[in-house]
Structure formats: structure tokens, C-alpha cells
Amino acid sequence: MLVLVVITALAFDFTNGFHDTGNAMATSIATKALGPRVAVAISGVLNFVGAFLSLAVAATIANGLVDTGKVTLTVVAAGLAGGIIWNLVTWLFGIPSSSSHALIGGVIGSTFAAAGGSAVLWHGLVSKVVLPAVLSPIIAALVAASGTWLLYRITRSLTSAARSHGFRIGQIGSACLVSLAHGTNDAQKTMGVITLALIVNGTVAEGSNAPIWVIVCCALAISIGTYLGGWRVIRTLGKGLVEIESPQGMAAESASAAVILLSSSFGYSLSTTHVATGSIIGTGLGKRGAEVRWNVAGRMATAWVFTLPSAALVGAGAFGIAHGVGGTVGVVVDLILLAALSAVIYWRSRGSKVDHNNVNAEWTGGAPTPEPAETAAA
Amino acid sequence: MSWINLTALWKIVVFGLIAGAGLPALFAGGLYSLSLGPHRARAATAGADGGTDSDVLIGGSVIGIAIAVLCFLIVLAAIGWSIYEIYQIGHPAPAKK
């Protein structure tokens, strides 16, 4: 049973990396500072390194969200299934929703279904997840807007070609930092969940840090996922929101990296997705004459609001199924359903393929992304 | 039990601005001083004759280059130091039970 949970958790970590490459690398790919393939490779390696950097977020997830005394392994597995399904659905539609909220929503949903509202630590949920989720994109946008304004102001006497040449070099550095930051925050979440499972199983004591093998496995899973790349999300972030020039790219990435790294070290499990999006919008606001596509931004915000409750519902449903069947078999049934659904989503994604070849194609409305209404319904 | 940790919030905003906007600005300052000198690619001259927009970064002024190098080194040092700090904070001794 524990093995199954760990495998599911690593699968989630994989989809997490897959989903979130865009946060770090979208802007660099959009401004052509890095080739798409090189970008995802670097990002994968740095996610691996970042995963070792800080353990504060893992501790929040493992001990700060649900009452570890009332959670069972079935609950954790069902929560993970909720998170993965939501991640895959939003990936299909190219919406950069938060993997973190998908995971947290899933776990909370299944905990709620299993043990009722008293097993959820609401205070921890609001103060360490919900509030940071609301505040972090605003802070990131503020930092990115200030940065963008400063960069254009300081280098205004340079030719635009020289300027973009210089900042493309800078962007490589800042994009690397975002990948590192992503590792410190997102890889931690899966570590937190596996640690939670280990605590529940009695393998490690309550209040423990993640054991070393957990850190290594999570770091590997997220970097492989990152390397395979979520081209759909990269496209939405890099081309859909604002047309980005390299100084803006660097400003956005620096802002994201700074906000994520700082929050990680405080143990806030914020969404790297929300931060990256906030930063990109901020660079649009900080440059005179730049246009922010608010309809795309609005669509994302809608998906964000839906993420936590939707993943919670899926998590609760998955628990219902697993509990109804009972025991290890129940969890296996859940996993089979999960695998089948993943296969369907993968098959559907073949229809409108986004890969390293067409990731930077001109933005023409929503295509190849289907309408948001379907996402909300999904 | 407070719902919002104001200390952490202002720290994230202030340090976020310093690191997230200040360091790129320093990098921009480096680019600017790097461009000083005789070979400087000026927006005005390149744009006027409709010729090719030069993307040459190094202007040729020795002092300019020195200042630029200093700026870039400060940026790198700041990044290195922050990562070290985060590593220190992020690996507390496991809680004793």
C-alpha cells in the first residue's frame, strides 16, 4: 500500500514538472534567449538541484495541512489521484493552473471525505496556502513592473538590438534561478505528501523532515517531467499574455525567482504558476505601450479559483471509490481509473499537438487551446 | 493565532523588490556602462540613416568596462549569498520528539 502511494506521488511530481516547465522557461523561449530543447534540459537539471535546497515547504505540507492522526494511506492516494487528474486536464487546455493547489486540493478533499472537516487544519490552509496564493501574484507583478520600468529606463540610450542582445544573456541567468526556485517549492510538495504517507504509516515520526531517499526520488521525478516539457503551457505563458521582449523576460524571471525563493524559505507553499503569471503581467504593466491580454489572464484566474475546489472534489470522489471497494484493492481500482483517464487525455492531446516546433507560433486567439467553458465543466 | 504573518509579508515584498528588481537593474547598469566609449551603439545614429541596428555590447571605454564587471560581480555574489542563506534556513535540525 505504501509503495502504491509513493508511486502515485512520484507520478504527480512528474506531471508537476511537466506542467510547470513553462513557469521558468516560457519567457526565455518566447524571446529566443534559449532554444526550447536546451531550455527544458537546463530547467530539469536545476529543478533537481533546487529540490535539495530547502525543506521548509515539505514540512508545511507534511505537518501543517491535515491532522496526521486522522489520515490513512487510502486518503493520501485518493488525494494524489485528484491532483494528477486536475493537472492533466488543465494541461490539455494549456492553462497554467497551479499544480500545488491541485495537490493540496486533492489531499484536503479526500481527507474531508474520509474524516470530516475537523481533520483539516483550516488555519494552516488559509494562512500558508490560500493567502499566499492571493498575495503572491500581486507581489510578483509589483516587483516585475518595477524591474521592467527600471531596466528600460537605465538602458534607454542603447539601441534596441544591443539591448535585447544584453538582456538575452541576462535572461539565461534569471531563467536558471526560476528553475532552481521551482525545485525549492514544487518538488517539496511531493516530498511533503510522501512524508505525510510515511508518518501515517508509522514509518517515520510525526514532525519529521523528508528522508533522503524521498528527496532524491522527488528531485528525479520532477526533473524528468520538466525535461519532457509542457509545451502547451509554455505557449500560453510565453505568447498568450503579453508579447515579451528580453528586458521584460529578465525582469519577469528575476521577480518570480525572488518571490518564490523568499516564500519557500518561509515555508509558504505558493504556486510557482501564480507567481510566474503575475510577473509576466507585471512586465506588461511596467512597459509603456505594452498590451496585456486581460481576457487570457482572466481565463487563467478563473481556472485558479476552480483548481482547489475541483481537485478537492476529485480527491473526495477518488476516496469514495477506494473506500467503497475497500483496502488495497480500492486504491488499485483508483489507480487503474487514473491510468485510463490519463491515457484518454494523452490521446485527445494528440489532436492539437504543441511541441518544441510550434511553441512560438504567432498567437491567434485561443487556438490551439479549446474554450475555457469546457475546462470549468471538466 | 494570526491568519496572516505580516513580518513574513513585508520581508517578502522588500527583499523581493531588492532582489527581483534591484539586481536586474544593477545588471542593466552594467550593460549601460559596458556600452560607453567610442564604439557605442547609439540609438540616435543607428536609427537616423535607417542602417542596421548595431547589437555591439562593448563600447570600448576602460572605466566603463571596469564598472560593468563590478556590477556583474555584485549581482553574482548577491545570488550566491542568497542561495546559501536559503540553504541555511531550509535545513533546520529535525524536531526532537
DSSP A213-246: HHHHHHHHHHHHHHHH--HHHHHIIIIIS----H
Determine, for residues A150 and B21 on separate chains, whether the beta-carbon distance falls below 8 Å: yes
Q: How many CB atoms lie within 10 A of CB A221?
A: 25
Q: Which residues of chain B have pLDDT under 50?
A: 1, 43-52, 93-97
The answer to whether the CB of A165 falls within 8 A of the CB of B57 is yes
For residue B15, the chain A residues in CB contact (below 8 A) are 258, 262
The pLDDT assigned to A14 comes to: 82
Interchain pair A163, B31: CB under 8 A:
yes
| Nearest C-alpha neighbor of A264 from the set A12, A80, A15, A53 | A53
How many other C-beta atoms are found inside a 10 Å radius of the C-beta of residue A209? 21
Nearest CB to B42 within list A157, A263, A264 = A157
Highest mean pLDDT among A6-15, A48-57, B19-28: B19-28
Residue that the C-alpha cell 505525510 belongs to: A196
Task: Indicate whether B76 belongs to any domain.
Answer: yes
pLDDT surpasses 60 at A377: no
B73 to chain A, any CB pair closer than 8 A? The answer is no
Give the total number of structural domains in chain B: 1
Q: Mean pLDDT, to the nearest integer, of A329-355?
A: 70
pLDDT of residue A41: 81
Give how far A183 is from chain B: nearest CA, Å.
Answer: 13
CA dist., res. A254 & res. A238, Å (int): 15
What does the pLDDT read at residue A110? 85
Q: Is A53 on the interface with B (CB under 8 A)?
A: yes
CB pair distance less than 8 Å for A154 and B25: yes
Position B79 in a domain: yes
Q: Which of A151, A162, A180 sits opposite B57 (nearest CB)?
A: A162
Q: Of A68, A122, A130, A154, which to mutate for an interface test with B (greatest number of B Cβ within 10 Å)?
A: A154
Average pLDDT, chain A: 76
Are the C-beta atoms of residues B83 and A52 closer than 8 Å to each other?
Answer: no
User: Which cell numbers hold the place of A56?
Assistant: 521548509
> In terms of CA atoms, which chain B residue is nearest residue A279?
B20
**For residues A97 and A133, is the Cβ–Cβ distance under 8 A?**
no
- Cross-chain residue pair B20–A257, CB shorter than 8 Å: yes
Query: Is B61 in CB contact (< 8 Å) with chain A?
Result: no
Name the residue in chain A with its Cα closest to that of B85: A265
ipTM field = 0.76
List, for residues A233-278, the tens digit of each pLDDT value. Answer: 777 666 666 667 788 888 888 888 888 888 887 777 777 878 888 8
pLDDT of A375 over the 70 cut: no
Total residue count of chain B as it appears in this document: 97
Give the confidence band of A374 by pLDDT, cuts at 50, 70, 90.
Answer: very low
In A, minimum Cα distance to B28 occurs at: A151
Q: Which of A142, A158, A256 sits opposite B41 (nearest CB)?
A: A158
Q: Is the pLDDT of residue A312 over 80?
A: yes
Q: What is the C-alpha to C-alpha distance for residues A156 and B47, in angstroms, rounded to an integer?
A: 14
* Nearest chain A residue (CA) to B36: A158
Distance CA B45, CA A282 (A): 32
- Residue B96: the pLDDT is 38
> Is B74 an 8 Å CB contact of chain A?
no
Residues of chain A positioned with their CB less than 8 A from the CB of B71: none
Domain extent for B60:
8-44+56-90
B84 touches chain A (CB under 8 A): no
Residue A124 CA, distance from chain mean position: 20
Q: For residue A64, how far is the Cα from the chain centroid? A: 19
Alpha-carbon torsion (A102, A105, A107, A113), positive or negative: negative
Q: Best mutation site among A63, A163, A172 for testing chain B: the one with the most B CBs within 10 Å? A: A163
Picking from A156, A261, A274 by the largest number of B CB atoms within 10 A of its own CB, the best residue to mutate is: A261
Nearest residue of B to residue A282 by CA position? B21
Mean pLDDT, rounded, for A335-339:
75
Residue A371's pLDDT is what?
Answer: 35
Most confident listed range (A92-96, A249-253, A321-325): A249-253
Give the domain range for residue A275. Answer: 2-377
pLDDT digits (tens, 9 = 90+) for A147-190: 888 888 888 777 777 777 888 888 888 888 888 888 788 778 88
Find chain A residues with C-beta within 8 A of B97's C-beta.
205-207
pLDDT score of A242: 63
Residue A223 in this model has a pLDDT that exceeds 60:
yes
The number of domains in chain A is: 1
pLDDT confidence tier of residue A353, bands split at 50, 70 and 90: low
Tell whether A25 lies on the interface with B, counting CB pairs under 8 A: no
